[in-house]
Amino acid sequence: MPQQQLYCICRKPDTGQWMIACDFCDDWYHGSCVSIRESQSHLIETYACPSCTSKRLGTTTWKRKCRLPGCDNPALVDGDKKSKFCAPEHGVAWFKLNIEAHSKDTDDGLRNAGISVSELSAILYSVSNVREFKRLGNFPPTPSSPTLTPEDQRRLSMLNGQKTEIEKRLKYIEHKARYIEYAKLRATAQKTLCGFDRKLVWDDAEWAEWCDSDEGARILDRIREFKKTQDEQKNGASADDGAGAGNGEKRKRGRKAKQQVTVQLDLQDILNVVGNSDDDAVEDVCMLERRRCSRHASWQHIRAEEVELDERVCRDALVKIEREEQAIRQRAAIRSFKDSTKDGGRCIVAN
């Protein structure tokens, strides 16, 4: 009598009971022996028997189940039309169920989520962009009156003062950057002269005082207008010179025209930006020959880099201040949230 083939962890023959094959060892197992029902078979992606699992040859993976309650079919995860549901009809049915569940009671339509409609509306109105919306779950919602301790208020006031000072300093840095561009242009027009401007080595207090003076404000306004006019001349020269030429020739002529506009600017026009006479214009300017002025060598690059560094330092400081302000307010929001929920209440955010 031929010996019957044995299967499963129970090592018994096939008795007609539902069985499942291991995808790693090809042995067959009774569903009752491995705790898998026949009704679950269509949800199994790959099956690993207990022996293969213990040997780390593989693991059992399951297909995503349709999200509609009561449906045991797998979701559509393959192909072009992927979905969390097994069919489009079940997706529509799921949304209908949720709408019906949340619309039974207008005042408490979201009671299953532990939040009312008015509270949800307040939370949504408390954010102004998608980024803030995505961060809603990171911290408790900010209450209408967050509890700021005296120390919080003192620190926020100090940070606000620091921020005001940094923003004021950034304004003066912007003025200096514009003045450096003008000084570089003036030095280019003077050709062989050094052109270094002594205003560029003033300390912050001296520079701020000059910027706020009538003379400084007048000169900075003139430099701003001069730069605007210069840009318009460059653009106009580029367009006129390139008219009627091919694309490649037009680009070449445009670049050449821009260079000519910068080089051929009249020196007197440039000097008139800061004064009505040559003496006024060159009062603080080094008039030595460029090749003989070792003291101010490469001053254009050095001063421009200093301004860029100052601006970067200020902006980094502003970022740190804003982060600290945010941390203080978040801690206050957490305190208020905890206080409001001690007696089972809810933290309501401001509209």
What is the predicted pLDDT for the residue at 113? 54
What is the predicted pLDDT for the residue at 267? 52
Give yes or no for a contact between 187 and 286, defined as CB atoms under 8 angstroms apart.
no
Query: Pick from 90, 82, 89, 48: which is nearest to 64 by CA?
Result: 82
Tens digits of per-residue pLDDT, 89-147?
A: 888 888 888 777 665 554 454 555 555 666 666 666 667 777 777 776 665 555 556 67
Q: Does position 309 have pLDDT exceeding 90, yes or no? A: yes
Instruction: For domain 19-62, give the CATH superfamily.
Output: Zinc/RING finger domain, C3HC4 (zinc finger) (3.30.40.10)
Q: Using alpha carbons only, how large is the chain's radius of gyration in Å?
A: 38
Q: How far is CA 209 from CA 204, 212, 217, in A?
A: 8, 5, 10
What is the predicted pLDDT for the residue at 5? 84
Mean pLDDT within 327-345: 69
Q: Does position 348 have pLDDT exceeding 50, yes or no? A: no
Using CA atoms, how far apart are residues 12 and 230, in angstroms rounded to an integer? 95
Tens digits of per-residue pLDDT, 182-204?
A: 888 888 777 788 888 888 888 88
Mean pLDDT within 51-80: 86
What is the predicted pLDDT for the residue at 252? 45
Tens digits of per-residue pLDDT, 206-260?
A: 999 989 998 888 888 888 887 777 777 766 655 555 555 555 554 444 444 444 4
Percent of the chain with pLDDT over 70: 69
* Whole-number average pLDDT of the chain: 77
Neighbouring-strand partners of residue 285: 197
What is the predicted pLDDT for the residue at 101? 66
Mean pLDDT within 304-320: 93
Using CA atoms, how far apart are residues 317 and 311, in angstroms rounded to an integer? 10
Query: Pick from 36, 52, 32: which is nearest to 44 by CA?
Result: 36
To which H or E segment does residue 32 belong? Answer: none
The string of DSSP codes covering 282-347 is TTTB--SBGGG--TTTTHHHHHHHHHHHHHHHHHHHHHHHHHHHHHHHHHHHHHHHHHHTTTS---
β-pair type (61-62, 44-46): antiparallel
- What are the extents of the domains in the chain? 19-62, 88-138, 151-329
Using CA atoms, how far apart are residues 195 and 184, in angstroms rounded to an integer? 8
| Position 336, amino acid | S
What is the DSSP code (8-state) at residue 349?
B
CA-based end-to-end distance of the chain: 85
Tens digits of per-residue pLDDT, 273-307?
A: 655 444 444 567 888 888 888 888 888 888 889 99
Neighbouring-strand partners of residue 61: 46
What is the predicted pLDDT for the residue at 308? 92
What is the predicted pLDDT for the residue at 168? 93
Give yes or no for a contact between 39 and 65, defined as CB atoms under 8 angstroms apart.
no
Q: Does position 346 have pLDDT exceeding 50, yes or no? A: no
φ and ψ of 122, to 5 deg: -65, -40
E strands within 37-187?
A: 44-46, 61-62
How many Cα atoms sit within 13 Å of 329 on the Cβ side? Answer: 14
Question: Considering the entire predicted model, what is its pTM?
Answer: 0.49
Mean pLDDT within 163-191: 88
Mean pLDDT within 315-328: 91
Using CA atoms, how far apart are residues 7 and 11, in angstroms rounded to an integer? 5
- Decide which of 286 and 271 is more confident: 286
What is the predicted pLDDT for the residue at 165? 94
Residue found under tokens 């003008």: 182
Q: Does position 73 have pLDDT exceeding 90, yes or no? A: no
Using CA atoms, how far apart are residues 164 and 324, in angstroms rounded to an integer? 15
Q: Does position 314 have pLDDT exceeding 60, yes or no? A: yes
Mean pLDDT within 44-62: 90
Give yes or no for a contact between 193 and 287, defined as CB atoms under 8 angstroms apart.
yes
What is the predicted pLDDT for the residue at 237? 56
